[in-house]
Structure 1
Amino acid sequence: MAPAYFPMDESYLVGGWLASFFWGLYTLLFGASLRLIYQRRRQGINMFTTLSIVLLYVLATAHVSLILVRLIQGLILYRDTIGPIAFFANVSVRLNVAKDYIYITSLFVGDMVVVWRLHVVWGKNYWVSVLPTIMTFGELISGYGSVSHYLLPDPTIPSTVPWGIAMFVMSMATNIIVTSAIASRIWYVYITMKPKAMGLQTSNRYTRVLLLIIESGAIIAAAKITEFTLFRLAPDDGNGMNALYIVFEIMPQITGIVPTVIVYAVNSGYTQHEDTYT
Structure 2
Amino acid sequence: MDAEIILPSLGRMSLTSTWLESLLFGINCILFGACIHILTDRHRQPHWILYVSCAFHMSISTAHAILAFIQLLDAFTGHAYASIPHGADIYFATPNALFIINLTMYVANVFAQDLLLIWRLYIVWGHNRKLLFLSLFVEAAHIACAIVSVVLIAPSNGLLFSSKVQAFGKASWTLDLFLNTTVTCGIAYPLWRASIRTAPISNHSYQATMYTVIESGALIASCTVIMFALDVAGSPAGFAAVNVAVQVATTTPLLIIVRLGLGLTHGKSSSNENAMDDEKDGSLRFARPVQVNVTHTQTEEIASALPRSSLDSVESDN
* TM-score normalised by L of structure 1: 0.89
Contact 1:6 1:243 (C-alpha < 8 Å) held by counterparts: no
Sequence identity, in percent?
23
Counterpart in the other structure of 2:158: 155
* Residues 106-255 of structure 1: pairs in structure 2 closer than 5 A: 106-152=109-155, 154-156=157-159, 157-158=161-162, 159-192=164-197, 194-197=198-201, 199-200=202-203, 202-203=204-205, 206-234=206-234, 241-255=235-249
Q: Deviations over 1:17-55 (max 9, x none)?
A: 010111011101101210221124x53122112211210
Task: Give 1 or 2 for the bigger CA radius of gyration.
Answer: 2
Q: Deviations over 1:142-181 (max 9, x none)?
A: 1111111123353123131121112111100000110111
Consecutive unaligned residues of structure 2, counting only runs of 5 or more, are: 265-271, 280-304, 308-318
Partner AA of 1:34 in structure 2: I
- 2:17 aligned with 1:32, yes or no? no
Partner AA of 1:277 in structure 2: L
Contact 1:19 1:253 (C-alpha < 8 Å) held by counterparts: yes
- 2:268 aligned with 1:274, yes or no? no
Aligned residues, how many?
263
Consecutive unaligned residues of structure 1, counting only runs of 5 or more, are: 235-240
Contact 2:109 2:246 (C-alpha < 8 Å) held by counterparts: yes
Q: Deviations over 1:122-142 (max 9, x none)?
A: 112111222111111222221
Contact 1:220 1:254 (C-alpha < 8 Å) held by counterparts: yes
Contact 1:183 1:214 (C-alpha < 8 Å) held by counterparts: yes
- When structure 1 is superposed on structure 2, of 219-228 and 244-253 the one drifting more is 244-253
* TM-score normalised by L of structure 2: 0.78
Bigger fraction of residues in helix: 1
Deviation for aligned residue 1:80: 0.9
Partner AA of 1:149 in structure 2: L
